[in-house]
Amino acid sequence: MKNDKHIDFRALRVFAAVAESETLTQAAEHLGITQSAVSQAVKQLETQTGSELVIRRSRPVKLTASGKIFREYVLRTLDNTQQVLSDIQMSSNSSVPKLNVGMIDSFGEVASRQITERIKPFASRLSIRTGVSGSLTNALLNRELDILVTSEPLEDHPELYRYPILRDPFIMIVPEAHCRGHDVTPEWLAKNVPFVHYARQNRIGILIDLIARRLDIKLMTHYELDSTQTLLRFVQAGHGWAMLTGLCLIRHPELLRGTKVMPLVEGTNARYLSLLCHSGELGNLPEKVATICQDIYTTDLVPKLTKLAPWFDEQAYTVNELPVI
C-alpha cells in the first residue's frame, strides 16, 4: 500500500478482523487474503499512526493500548459507513413513495423541522401533521398516518408496533410571588394557590389528574385551558400554578419570566413518548425515524431544557423500554 496520510479503508477492515482473531493467519482466512497482506496492512497502519498496534509475538494476538483505542475508532468508522450505505440504498430505491408522519403538538412544535430534514431522503413525498393525541391516534388507526410520535400507549391495539423514544418529565411552574417565604411543595400549592389545569381531553391533562391522585392532593382548578401558550400566560400573570412537561416549555421561554420552574416530587413523574406504526410495514424505516427523534432530543432539546433548569439533565433522557405502570 502507498504510504501517505490517507488511511486505506481496506486496511481498517483488515485491522478489525485482526482484532477479532487469534492469529494473523486466522484473520487472513476470514478475509480471503494472504497472511502477508494482513501483515502489510497492519504495518502500514502502524506507520501512519506512529504507534505499535498489535503484539504479534503473543498467542493469541493481542492489541497494544494504542491498538485498543484504534479498534474503537475503526469499529465506529465501519459501522457509520454501513449506515451511510444503507440510508443511500433506501433513498435510491424510493421504497416509500409517500410518508405520512404525525407528532403530538408539544414534540412537533420543537422538533418537526429537524425531523423533516433528517427523514425526507427516505421518501419521495413527506407529510408532517401535528395536533392533539386523540385526533392523531384516530388518523393512525384509519391509516391516514404511517407513523405517529405520541404519548398514548395504545396497548389495546396489537396490530401496532412501538418504538420507545424519550422520557418527558412533569414539572411545576409557579409564579415567583407564591414562592417567597414558603416551602413550595405540591401539597402546599394545592391548599393555598389556584390551579391552572391543562385541558382534560389532552393526554397531559389526564396525566395531571393521575399525578394528583398519586400525591393525594386536591387541585383548586380555577381555569382549564387547551393551549400551552395561554396556560403559561395565565401562570405568568399570577393567576395560579400549573403542571406541565419539559417539552411544553421549550417553545415559549419568554413566558417563563416571573415564574419558577420546579421539579415535581424529585422528578418521579413523567410521560413517555413512543413511535407507533402498523406492524410489518415500512421495513426498518420506523426504527430509523425513532432513532432520529432520540438524537434530536438528546443533542438539541435537552440542552435547551437544561438552560431553563440544570436538573432537567437528570430527568429528561431517551429510553429503549417503557416503564411498567
* Mean pLDDT for the stretch of residues 292-306: 95
Residue 305 CA to residue 261 CA, distance in Å, equals 11
81 pLDDT above the threshold of 80: no
Residue 67 CA to residue 145 CA, distance in Å, equals 48
Boundaries of CATH 3.40.190.10 in the chain? 95-165+273-297, 168-267
Q: Find all residues with CB under 8 Å of 309, minimum gap 6, and list them.
A: 171, 261, 262, 263
Residue with the larger pLDDT of the pair 229 and 92: 229
Long-range contacts of the stretch 82-89 (C-beta < 8 A, 24+):
87/121, 87/122, 87/288
- Superfamily for domain range 95-165+273-297: Periplasmic binding protein-like II (3.40.190.10)
* Mean pLDDT for the stretch of residues 214-227: 94
Hey, what amino acid is at 163?
A: Y
> For residue 83, what pLDDT is reported?
63
Residues of the chain by 3-state class (helix, strand, coil), percent to 5 = 50, 20, 30
33 pLDDT above the threshold of 90: no
pLDDT-wise least confident of 2-6, 77-81, 219-223: 2-6
User: Any idea how long the chain is?
Assistant: 325
Write the Ramachandran bin of 36: left for phi over 0, alpha for psi from -120 to 50, otherwise beta. Answer: alpha
pLDDT, one tens digit per residue, over 223-282 is 999 899 999 999 999 999 999 999 999 989 999 999 999 999 877 899 999 999 998 888
Task: Tell me if residue 23 falls in helix, strand or coil.
Answer: coil
pLDDT, one tens digit per residue, over 115-174 is 999 988 888 889 999 988 888 999 999 999 999 999 988 888 888 999 999 999 999 999
Looking up cell 406504526, which residue turns up?
277
> For residue 94, what pLDDT is reported?
45
80 pLDDT above the threshold of 90: no
Residue 244 CA to residue 95 CA, distance in Å, equals 39
Q: What is the architecture, at CATH level 2, of domain 9-92?
A: Orthogonal Bundle (1.10)
CA torsion through residues 285, 291, 297, 303, sign: negative
Q: Find all residues with CB under 8 Å of 229, minimum gap 6, and list them.
A: 251, 252, 255
User: What percentage of the chain reaches a pLDDT higher than 90?
Assistant: 54
Can you read off the three cell numbers belonging to residue 191? 391548599
CATH number for the region 168-267 comes to 3.40.190.10
Hey, what amino acid is at 197?
A: H
Q: In this structure, how many other beta carbons lie within 10 angstroms of the beta carbon of residue 210?
A: 12
> For residue 1, what pLDDT is reported?
42
First to last CA, the chain: 59
Residue 91 CA to residue 73 CA, distance in Å, equals 27
303 CB-contact burial (10 Å; exposed 0-12 / middle 13-18 / buried 19+): exposed
> For residue 295, what pLDDT is reported?
95
Boundaries of CATH 1.10.10.10 in the chain? 9-92
Residue 146 CA to residue 128 CA, distance in Å, equals 11
pLDDT-wise least confident of 4-13, 53-62, 157-166, 312-321: 4-13
Q: 0.85 cut: is pTM over it?
A: no
Long-range contacts of the stretch 289-295 (C-beta < 8 A, 24+):
289/101, 289/115, 289/119, 289/147, 290/163, 290/164, 290/165, 292/115, 292/118, 292/119, 293/107, 293/111, 293/115, 293/149, 293/165, 293/166, 294/165, 294/166, 294/318
Phi, psi of 321 (to 5 degrees): -140, 150
Residue with the larger pLDDT of the pair 292 and 93: 292
2 pLDDT above the threshold of 60: no
pLDDT, one tens digit per residue, over 167-208 is 999 999 999 998 887 789 999 999 999 999 998 888 899 999
Looking up cell 478482523, which residue turns up?
17
> For residue 88, what pLDDT is reported?
57
